[in-house]
Structure 1
Amino acid sequence: MVLVPQHLLVNNLDAVEQRLGRDESAELFRDAGRRSAWHWCAHESARLGLSGAAIVRHYLDRLSRRGWGRFEIDALDPSRGELSVRVRHSALLPVDGSDRSVDRACYLFEAWFEGALQYTSGRSGTVPVRETRCGVNADECLFTSDGPGRCHDNQRRP
């Protein structure tokens, strides 16, 4: 485990976005984030004997405990690719004194949720998850899957 101050994380993310642009940065981090979540879920599933929604709940609980934010599940059905998660106090939001002007700061979590859903569903493709509301402009972030049963098979399995 490596602990870093929030401003270091946010400032580095901002630097990548400034250099590559928001969309390119999101794509850069998406594959790595999805792969990391998939492997974490696989490891914890084997270690604890958890599967399905239980491993996703465990994953989000661990993210919360490690300071990434407060993850609250509103809807979860991995077999259908259904997910709705609210995040309060996201570690990815701009910190006080930051000149970071963004409308969507927490998009990195999208890939993490996709990887967890992909692992639990056993699908070879991913169920796209999008940040539909961000804590920059609201009290919390909201992430939802594209809808039950929708899967993009053109994504490779980690």
Structure 2
Amino acid sequence: MKPALPIEVDPASGVWSTDGLPMIYLPRHFFVNNHVEIEKALGRAAYAQSLYAGGYRSAHFWCAQEAATHGLSGLAVAEHYLQRLSQRGWGRFSFIAADVHSGAAQIALTHSVFVLAQGIAGVPVRSDKLCYLFAGWFAGAMDWVGEDLGERWRTFSRETQCEAEGHAHCVFTVSALGAR
């Protein structure tokens, strides 16, 4: 099977892009091993906090760009986001539930890059929540949806179960924080 998303390569610079956004293609073990080492160096709490903030901003930006590129709006943008993440090798993401009036949502993840990479090329095997890197992405996407629909709430997202803990899939729970 070939990639389901369009990939353009600039012949002069070698920069890869999809839908006009620059991309980086790198081996999974490289990314995951660096993730593990940064977590060790900073401590899990500090690293998770920085990933959350950066992931939130990136998801929010991506939703705005993709909405304009594809003429999408509302929850369709977040659904497209989950589809594109799935097509990029992070795992398979899908909504379990989503409420556009409050921002609350649950997202399932199967075949997570962090779970599948365990024991390969030096990546340690663990049985705790490994996929927290994604949490900020879902709050950023749901907050964008709310803004697009004229809602005034903000959300917070966290990994509530992980496949590495023995579950059939990971679950991320997005909860409303209230009006801004």
Provide TM-score, normalisation by structure 1: 0.87
Q: CA offsets, 1:19-56, max 9 Å, x none?
A: 11110000111111000000000011111221111000
Question: Which is strand-richer, 1 or 2?
Answer: 2
Q: Percent identity?
A: 38
Residue of structure 2 equivalent to 1:130: 158
Amino acid at match of 2:129: R
* 1:145 counterpart residue number: 174
Q: 2:108 matched to 1:86?
A: yes
CA distance in 2, matches of 1:54, 1:68: 20
- How far has the Cα of 1:152 moved from its partner? 7.5
Letter in 2 for 1:140: H
* Aligned-pair CA distance for 1:140: 1.1
CA shift, 1:125, in A, is 6.3
Name the structure 2 match of 1:156: none
Q: Tell me by how many angstroms 1:4 deviates.
A: 1.4
Q: Report the counterpart of residue 76 of structure 1 in structure 2.
A: 98
Contact 2:59/2:140 (CA < 8 Å) preserved in 1? yes
Please provide the CA RMSD for this pair.
1.8
- Do residues 42 (structure 1) and 64 (structure 2) align? yes
What letter matches 1:117 in structure 2?
M
Structure 1 regions of 5+ residues with no counterpart? 154-158
Please say if residues 153 and 177 of structure 2, whose CA atoms lie closer than 8 Å, have aligned partners that are also in contact: no
Runs of 4+ in 1 over 6 A off after TM superposition: none
